[in-house]
Amino acid sequence: MEILRSWGLQDEVERAGMPREDVLAVGVGTSLSADDYLRKAAAIAEDAAQSPTYTYLCSQDVLEVIMRRVAASAADVRFGATMTDLRIEPGGVAATIVADGAATLVRARYLVAADGSRGTVRRRLGIAVEGPPPLGHMVSIMFDADLGFLPPGRRAALSFVRSTPGGAIEAVDNRRRWIMQTGYDPAKGGSAGDFTEEYCLAAVRSAIGIPDHPVDIVGVMPWLQQAVVAAEFARDPVYLAGDAAHVATPQGGFGMNCGIQDAHNLAWKLAAVLRGEAGPRLLDTYAEERRPIAVRTVDESLVNAMITAQMMAGRLSMNEAIEQQAGRRGSEGLVLGFHYDSAAVVPDGTPAPAPADPYRTYVPTARPGHRAPHVWVSPGVSTLDLLGPAFTLLTAPGSGWAGVPGVRVVEVDSAEWAEVYDVGEQGAVLVRPDGHVGWRTRSADHAELEKALDVILSRS
Ligand SMILES: Cc1cc2nc3c(=O)[nH]c(=O)nc-3n(C[C@H](O)[C@H](O)[C@H](O)COP(=O)(O)OP(=O)(O)OC[C@H]3O[C@@H](n4cnc5c(N)ncnc54)[C@H](O)[C@@H]3O)c2cc1C
């Protein structure tokens, strides 16, 4: 959401998504209408105090239409086009793109393989994935149903139901559209072909808890539950991003977020190298920075999936299940607290915060490598709104910093900023185009700034 905010999309995504108070709730029960249904919701006031935005749930088909408009304003976006062949050549790639039955050969210096978990580029390069074998053969059943008869206290983004077959009910708009996540076991003779309309209707009605409730099945999609990370994220000139590079379990809602952050990390580096502003070594830092974050994110999604598996197997009581699910909902430590150690970061010798619970607890810090922390600098304006699209130097008013080519100097007049960023009256924080701190100093030394930029941009 912070990245979408930087693209000016926050309001539109908020409107397209679910009401915030509904997003904060999870439930468990034998069915949605069973007496044993328990719901737990976090208080809005506790949600994401350390960000100018919040966790939202917005259906992916709606979100992608919004994002497509922004992409199309900057690039040639083509639908119905398939890359059918790829050759690595000296100095780049040659790809065959087929659209409307016609093949076109496209040559490029770099290729970003964002072709998802079933894409072919990673396999073509012979890059393996690391992680456990597939965790389950899952099926998403999208359906429309009026669940207005449920008491308001049962509105939840996600409800786990131990019906037949059990699974999770996800709210799409929390009014009419829902998705049931369930699955089958091939070892017991199950297959995706079992999910006929009749079977899906029975599964959904059992989850609702009313045998003849009116339900329209909108779509059925089989998918493989996995927790894997590619052994390599890059083999020049090809860079893997999104599910092509890592597949998290859906539990926690991390997969697409992690993929968007890959793109955010890679895009400015590609641009800087192609413009001749950075050395090609900068591109190596993509894998150095993103792969450890992907491993950690996928591991945490696996922990979440194990809780769900235990719950569905009946090894947790309803009370234990709701406590554990609600307890893992807040993941600010994971999603805001991660940091990069790479050649594109100049360390300042300070240690990274080490909270007791690095999954839940985010400790704001402007230490190099970390996401520049959010602080309100004036009503409705966050430090994050001051950043980009190139490098930004944040400093106190009157500190004496002047701009250098490629760096915008922004003076921040805020006591809270001074405390959180911790650079004194003369110091400054150099924030990279992806919002991560690249360098921090407590003295106004322009020569050091030039040197830091040379290091970050791999300029010899
Ligand atoms: C049930 C479920 C719930 C989820 N919930 C969440 C959530 O709440 N939050 C979250 O962050 N993530 C969630 N995820 C994960 C999220 O859906 C994925 O991480 C995300 O869609 C990955 O995006 P991607 O662009 O990398 O890959 P994809 O969405 O798979 O897109 C890849 C695209 O590449 C195209 N493609 C492939 N090969 C070619 C080719 N040769 N030529 C042309 N095009 C090609 C494909 O057609 C596809 O359109 C969930 C996933 C599942 C299964």
For the domain made up of 337-460, give the CATH fold.
Answer: Glutaredoxin (3.40.30)
Rounded to the nearest angstrom, the distance between the alpha carbon of 242 and the centre of ligand 1 is 8
Distance from the alpha carbon of residue 50 to the mean position of ligand 1, in angstroms = 28
319 ligand 1 Cβ < 6 A? no
**Which residues make beta-bridge pairs with 182?**
139
pLDDT value of position 206: 97
Per-residue pLDDT of the chain (460 residues; tens, 9 = 90+): 999 999 999 999 999 988 877 777 889 999 999 999 998 887 665 666 799 998 888 999 899 999 999 999 989 999 999 999 999 999 999 999 999 999 999 999 999 999 999 999 999 999 999 999 999 999 999 999 999 888 877 888 889 999 999 999 999 887 899 999 999 999 999 999 999 999 999 999 999 999 999 999 999 999 999 999 999 999 999 999 999 999 999 999 999 999 999 999 999 999 999 999 999 999 999 999 999 999 999 999 999 999 988 888 889 887 887 888 788 888 999 999 999 999 999 999 999 999 999 999 999 999 999 999 999 999 999 999 999 899 999 999 999 898 788 899 999 999 999 999 999 999 999 999 999 999 999 998 899 999 999 999 999 7
For ligand 1, atom 47, the nearest C-alpha belongs to 115
Domain boundaries defined on the chain: 78-108, 109-132+228-336, 337-460
Domains 109-132+228-336 and 337-460 share a fold: no
Ligand 1 pocket member 338 (CB < 6 A): no
Q: Is 116 in the pocket of ligand 1 (CB under 6 A)?
A: yes
Architecture in CATH for domain 109-132+228-336: 3-Layer(bba) Sandwich (3.50)
For a ligand 1 pocket test, name from 26, 60, 233 the mutation site with the most ligand atoms within 8 angstroms of its C-beta: 60
* CB 407 near ligand 1, within 6 Å: no
Does the CB atom of residue 181 touch ligand 1 within 6 A? yes
User: Is there an atom of ligand 1 within 6 Å of 242 CB?
Assistant: yes
183 Cβ below 6 A of ligand 1: no
Is the CB of residue 250 below 6 angstroms from any atom belonging to ligand 1? yes
Residue 45: predicted pLDDT: 59
| Ligand 1 pocket test target in 240, 243, 258 with most atoms within 8 Å of CB | 243
Question: Of all protein residues, whose CA lies closest to atom 29 belonging to ligand 1?
Answer: 116
CA of residue 247 to ligand 1 center, whole Å: 9
pLDDT recorded at residue 339? 98
Question: Which residue's CA is minimally distant from atom 17 of ligand 1?
Answer: 256
From atom 50 of ligand 1, which residue's Cα is the shortest distance away? 250
Closest residue CA from atom 37 of ligand 1: 115
Vertex 255 angle, CA 314 and 43, to 5°:
65
Verify whether ligand 1 is closer than 6 Å to residue 95 (CB atom): no
Q: Cα separation of 345 and 367, whole Å?
A: 10
